Amino acid sequence: MQYDLGNIFFLRALIINGRDMTVKNTAAFLFTQAKNAYIQSLKLDNSFWDARHNLDRILMILPDDPSPGVGNSDSPGLIMGNIPVGLP
Q: Is residue 82 part of a domain?
A: no
Is position 12 within any domain? yes
- Residue 64 pLDDT greater than 90, yes or no: no
Q: Is the pLDDT of residue 74 over 80?
A: no
Where in the sequence is the domain holding 24, given as residue range(s)?
Answer: 2-61
- Domain membership of residue 16 (yes or no) is yes
10-17 contact pairs (CB < 8 A, 24+): 10/34, 10/54, 10/57, 10/58, 10/87, 11/87, 14/83
pLDDT tens digit string along 25-51?
898 899 999 999 999 999 999 999 999
The stretch 11-28 carries a mean pLDDT of 85
Does 76 fall in a domain?
no
Q: How many domains does the chain have?
A: 1
Do 48 and 42 contact (CB within 8 A), yes or no?
yes
Share of the chain above pLDDT 90, in %: 43
